């Protein structure tokens, strides 16, 4: 893939490749745009009977999970949901299906808006943990409120290379259940029991095949709603997603970077530009008023529930930075407590009461300026 300095324009001279954004969405309603800058040329009305001009590459766009491969197009497997430029077909698990109205397609200059809606993480965890009851959980009450955060654990595997330590972020591997779903065998079911298959659903026996109620993807073309090609998206929180088995990796943990990422694929000269907001070429309905203060009228209007409005995916970047800072603080406090939880006032002759050296305490940030001074004096 080739990207410009802004990382908003992409293309390739190879076969299909995928580029994913550097932020993921985990709950709520989010929106981004993809403009086709090189692809199937637009035809003029006067050239309706002229021979079709050869396309200048192809572009696909959509949403992809962390496990989705980058050397394949969006919609290649069960980990992504995509849209083809040819006839505007929807694509999931490499199975194209008609979606755009007859005669419509995606051409150069078109702007495709993609809106994803995901339920709250509270409901999401109920589903992956097998606690979801469709008779009771009729609504996602926490979708617009403050919900309890999950247990985020960011394992990093230390690798020593040329007298330096590098910390590797553990990747998540595709699950056998979704591979079987993508390539079904008549002899083996997706549940691993008997012959035949069980369709994915929120109460599926396998967590990897559980879907999210109230989830959907909407598609706009040049500001006009084309429809909702996908609903009941597959869940991604552990144990639906699992880290690759390796030394130092703990099974079934959430490192905070799981979710659905904006994704665009290009093929042999196809090129696109993405727009993550806040200024969109074709804002989704209600977006301009998202931050306006509502004037309170009668009590019924004021108390009526309002559908959540789509947010620009660019806002998610700032949220993710804040989350990283919070997780950093939690990690530092955790390591400090593992080291005994003693401040610099408990140090005597450069050694803490817990037996941890002052050097370790300074490195972890547990000691204050006094501890640093004592350490310098000890070294002298």
Three-state secondary structure string covering the chain: CEECCCCCEEECCCCCEEEECCCCECCEEEEEEEEEEECCCCCCHHHCCCCCCCCCCEEEEEEEECCCCCCCCCCCCCCEEEECCCCCCEEECCEEECCCCCCCCCCCCCEEEEEEEECCHHHHHHHHCCCCCCCCCCCCCCCCCCCCCCCECCCEEEEEECCEEEEEECCEECCHHHHHHHCCCCCCCCCCCCCCCCCCCCCCCCHHHCECCCCEEEEEECCEEEEEEEECCECCCCCCCEECCCCCCCCCCECCCCCEEEEEEEECCCEEEEECCCCCCCCCCCCCCCCCCCCCCCHHHHHCCCCCCCEEHHHHHHHHHHHHHHHHHHHHHHHHHHCCCCCHHHCECCECCCCCEHHHHHHHCCCCHHHHHHHHHHHC
Residue 320, Cβ neighbours under 10 Å: how many? Answer: 18
* Same-domain check for residues 356 and 215: no
Closest CA to 104 of 90, 89, 91: 89
Strand partners, 69: none
**CATH code, domain carrying 232:** 2.60.120.920
- Looking at the domain assignment, is residue 296 inside a domain? no
pTM of the model: 0.81
Strand partners, 18: 265
- Looking at the domain assignment, is residue 143 inside a domain? no
**From first to last of its 380 residues, what are the pLDDT tens digits of the chain?**
999 999 999 999 999 999 999 999 999 999 999 999 999 998 765 565 666 777 889 999 999 999 999 999 999 999 999 999 999 999 999 999 999 998 889 999 999 999 999 999 999 999 999 999 988 887 886 655 555 667 788 777 788 888 898 888 888 989 999 999 988 765 544 444 443 457 999 999 999 999 999 999 999 999 999 999 999 999 999 999 988 877 766 777 888 899 999 999 999 999 999 999 999 999 998 887 654 444 334 444 344 445 678 999 999 999 999 988 988 888 888 878 887 776 655 544 444 444 444 445 444 554 444 433 333 334 44
- Looking at the domain assignment, is residue 229 inside a domain? yes
* Same-domain check for residues 264 and 366: no
* Same-domain check for residues 181 and 48: yes
- Looking at the domain assignment, is residue 90 inside a domain? yes
- Looking at the domain assignment, is residue 334 inside a domain? no
* Same-domain check for residues 263 and 370: no
Q: Give the domain extent around 369.
A: 339-379
Closest CA to 95 of 112, 117, 80: 80
* Same-domain check for residues 158 and 83: yes
Domain total in the chain = 2
What is the per-residue pLDDT across 224-248, written as a single tens digit (0 to 9) for each? 999 999 999 999 999 999 888 777 6
- Looking at the domain assignment, is residue 329 inside a domain? no
What is the per-residue pLDDT across 284-300, written as a single tens digit (0 to 9) for each? 988 876 544 443 344 44
* Same-domain check for residues 159 and 95: yes
* Same-domain check for residues 250 and 359: no
Q: CB-side exposure of 11: number of CA atoms within 13 Å?
A: 15
* Same-domain check for residues 70 and 157: yes
* Same-domain check for residues 88 and 231: yes
- Looking at the domain assignment, is residue 106 inside a domain? yes
- Looking at the domain assignment, is residue 10 inside a domain? yes
* Same-domain check for residues 285 and 343: no
* Same-domain check for residues 99 and 248: yes
* Same-domain check for residues 231 and 357: no
């Amino acid at each position: 893939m080739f990207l410009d300095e802004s990382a908003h324009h992409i293309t390739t001279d190879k076969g299909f490749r995928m580029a994913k954004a550097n932020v993921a969405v985990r709950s709520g309603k989010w929106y981004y745009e993809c403009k086709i800058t090189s692809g199937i040329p637009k035809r003029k009305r006067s050239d309706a009977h002229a021979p079709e001009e050869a396309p200048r590459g192809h572009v696909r766009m959509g949403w992809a999970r962390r496990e989705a491969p980058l050397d394949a197009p969006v919609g290649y497997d069960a980990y992504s949901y995509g849209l083809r430029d040819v006839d505007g077909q929807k694509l999931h698990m490499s199975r194209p299906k008609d979606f755009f109205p007859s005669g419509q397609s995606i051409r150069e200059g078109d702007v495709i808006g993609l809106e994803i809606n995901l339920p709250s993480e509270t409901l999401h965890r109920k589903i992956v943990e097998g606690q979801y009851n469709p008779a009771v959980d009729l609504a996602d009450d926490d979708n617009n409120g403050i919900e309890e955060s999950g247990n985020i654990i960011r394992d990093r595997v230390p690798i020593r290379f040329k007298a330096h330590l590098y910390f590797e972020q553990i990747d998540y591997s595709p699950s056998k259940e979704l591979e079987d779903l993508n390539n079904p065998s008549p002899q083996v079911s997706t549940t691993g029991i008997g012959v035949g298959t069980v369709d994915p659903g929120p109460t599926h026996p396998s967590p990897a095949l559980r879907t999210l109620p109230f989830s959907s993807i909407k598609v706009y073309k040049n500001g006009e709603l084309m429809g909702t090609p996908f609903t009941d998206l597959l869940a991604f929180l552990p144990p639906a997603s699992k880290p690759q088995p390796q030394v130092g990796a703990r099974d079934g943990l959430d490192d905070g970077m799981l979710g659905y990422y904006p994704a665009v694929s290009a093929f042999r000269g196809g090129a696109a530009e993405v727009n993550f907001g806040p200024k969109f070429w074709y804002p989704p309905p209600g977006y301009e008023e998202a931050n306006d203060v509502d004037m309170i009228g009668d009590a019924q209007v004021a108390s009526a529930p309002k559908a959540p409005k789509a947010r620009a995916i660019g806002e998610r970047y700032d949220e993710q930075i804040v989350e990283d800072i919070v997780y950093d603080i939690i990690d530092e406090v955790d390591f400090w407590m593992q080291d005994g939880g003693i401040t610099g006032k408990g140090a005597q002759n450069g050694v803490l009461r817990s037996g941890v050296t002052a050097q370790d305490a300074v490195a972890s940030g547990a000691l204050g300026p006094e501890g640093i001074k004592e350490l310098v004096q000890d070294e002298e």
